Amino acid sequence: MNKSVIVTGSSGSIGKAICTVFREAGFSVIGVDIRPETSYCDNFVEADLNKLCKSSGYVKTTVASIRKSATSPINVLINNAAVQIVKSMEKLSIDDWQNTMNINVIAPFLLVQALTPDLRTSGGCVINIASAHAFVTKPRFMCYATSKAALIGLTRSMAVELGPEIRVNAISPAAVTTPMLMAGFQNKEKMLDQVRQAHPLARIALPEEIANVALFLASDAAGFITGASYSVDGGITARLHDPE
């Protein structure tokens, strides 16, 4: 294919799945994460996305490292990295808000801004990993839900501004089977089953299912899709949970 894909948050479960699926499709994969994990990508750049939002010099060095790692034209940027702070509104701090917005919204913007020349040259695309929380949420997820709603707004704005050369889309997953999620339900199988049943498909997504949608959005088959948010949520955002 002679194409490179950049995947932030490449050391997490969804990030690893995205890296694997794109490698299998023939892409050269550049992983970006604060935690070194190189086995799922062809090249790896260690980066702190929170720091990225505080230093223009750090942006330049990080992007220079990404470009140096690219063995072929940069065709796809996948903003997958995110932080999820779960606290009641009364306990949220300014630092909680700043860290969440930095990593979940501002860092994706800065990476797209810096890599726009590369993506214009390649006729590439951007894929932002948002969340079902952008549309429906629950108590204690205020920072996260707000940031993901902002990321979808950013996706639409970028699609308008960067077209026609660069397509920009978002994916909004619901619950995904990751070690972090499963650890939270350890010894709570009844509660986990309730989460499964809350989805009309009566199960939780696999990381590979999110990755496969990303691969589709990066393909020529999605050539007329931009500014969209794909809900990969098992139907949960379509469901009204009123008492029967």
> 25-81, pLDDT tens digit by residue?
999 999 999 999 899 999 999 999 999 999 999 999 999 999 999 999 999 999 999
**Which of 40, 58, 144, 230 does the annotation list as catalytic?**
144
The model carries a pTM of 0.96
Known catalytic membership, residue 144: yes
Label the pairing between strands 43-46 and 28-33. Answer: parallel
Domain-located, residue 200: no
Question: 7 pLDDT band (50/70/90 cuts)?
Answer: very high
Domain-located, residue 241: no
Q: Which two tokens stand for residue 40?
A: 């799922």
Question: 184 pLDDT band (50/70/90 cuts)?
Answer: confident
Domain of residue 79 covers: 4-175+207-235
Domain-located, residue 112: yes
Domain-located, residue 193: no
Q: How many domains does the chain have?
A: 1
- CA angle 193–13–207, rounded 5-degree value: 60
Domain-located, residue 20: yes
Q: Which two tokens stand for residue 175?
A: 């619950």
CATH of the domain at 45: 3.40.50.720
pLDDT tens sequence across 104-145: 999 999 999 999 999 999 999 999 999 999 999 999 999 999
pLDDT tens sequence across 221-234: 999 999 999 999 99
Residue with tokens 């990993």: 129
Domain-located, residue 84: yes
What is the distance in angstroms between the CA of the first residue and the CA of the last residue of the chain? 52
Domain-located, residue 51: yes
Cα separation, 189 vs 195, in Å, equals 10
Domain-located, residue 198: no
- Identify which of 45, 46, 138 has the alpha carbon closest to the alpha carbon of residue 87: 138
Q: What is the mean pLDDT of residues 188-217?
A: 95
